[in-house]
Structure 1
């Protein structure tokens, strides 16, 4: 099962290494991890997508993260309504004749060509992982020379309908 976590951590050397080491020791595969400065000085936000066996393992991961001294807050976004995006850069083989074709393919994805070389174009796309996967599959027949993906970055929606419904059912409202 996929687990989506958002962590607020101290912005210090070694924090990423300690957190990824925790997953290594437990044998969990990190599907993606993004880290960057947060809205609070001295703190960074990590978005982690993990592959865990079940709900029990997911709970164990959260408990272990909360024990880490550099972790300020852990939010499990797995079953919540989220705003999530990923960025990908895709360098595709493209002859002069194919460039217009590729431009036509990427338009519905709101992707754009960032760079044009002699024999290739570099496409930038942001969106859900599924959207990016779909565009990659459409570009694959042209020949993908290079591909770089950022991994998922996510927030819980401000008005989380699923969390509100869950809270109402728990209180009997």
Structure 2
């Protein structure tokens, strides 16, 4: 089923699961079998005894498709909870990226100036390149990378989105 870009909406899903072998494959398989794309995927252990993990998936689709995905995820046995942060209300999203930029002279100075504006931190430096660490919402990371392309972008590594509801209640 091909989704028109105009109908597709970006959604951030938080899925709390038992930390067991194969669960990530089951969830990815659910998306693959139905032709849905995963734009970003992160997984982390979130319990003291290592029994529960949180999977954060960024995907696109019209509301009825996202509802279908949530319902199918809820039916998987090791899934405890599925929350669409996009629909649930105010939330915080962050991503970390390492951005390698080569350059000398004026381009080097400009890369450092832009990094300062974006609060990107140089974590490695040589006479011909930098590796910057940047964290923030995905659009901030995208903007920084786009500017670095003009100055000598060499390589990018991104963690994927992690999201959490604002306020005292867990999601």
- Residue 89 of structure 1 aligns to a residue in which SS? strand
What is the correspondence of 1:79-118 to structure 2 with a 5 Å cutoff?
Answer: 79=87, 80-95=89-104, 98-118=107-127
* 1:42-67 per-position Cα deviation (integer Å, ceiling 9, x unaligned): 10011111122x11111110110001
Aligned-residue CA RMSD (Å): 1.5
CA contact (8 A) 1:103 1:112 kept: no
Q: Please list every run of 5 or more consecutive structure 1 residues that lacks an aligned counterpart in the other structure.
A: 161-173
For residues 154 and 21 of structure 2, what CA distance do their matches in structure 1 show?
34
More displaced 10-residue stretch of structure 1: 17-26 or 88-97: 88-97
The count of residues paired between Structure 1 and Structure 2 equals: 159
1:135 aligns with 2:144: yes
For residues 127 and 117 of structure 2, what CA distance do their matches in structure 1 show?
25
CA contact (8 A) 1:34 1:153 kept: yes
- Residue 100 of structure 2 aligns to a residue in which SS? strand
Q: Please list every run of 5 or more consecutive structure 2 residues that lacks an aligned counterpart in the other structure.
A: 1-8
For residues 107 and 84 of structure 2, what CA distance do their matches in structure 1 show?
44
More displaced 10-residue stretch of structure 1: 1-10 or 93-102: 93-102
- Residue 142 of structure 1 aligns to a residue in which SS? coil
Tell me which of 23, 26, 30 is aligned to 1:18.
Answer: 26
- The structure where helix makes up a greater share of residues is 1
TM-score normalised by length of structure 2: 0.87
Aligned to 1:2: 10
- Once the two structures are TM-superposed, the CA of residue 13 in structure 1 deviates from its matched residue by 1.4
CA contact (8 A) 2:101 2:154 kept: yes
- Once the two structures are TM-superposed, the CA of residue 22 in structure 1 deviates from its matched residue by 0.3
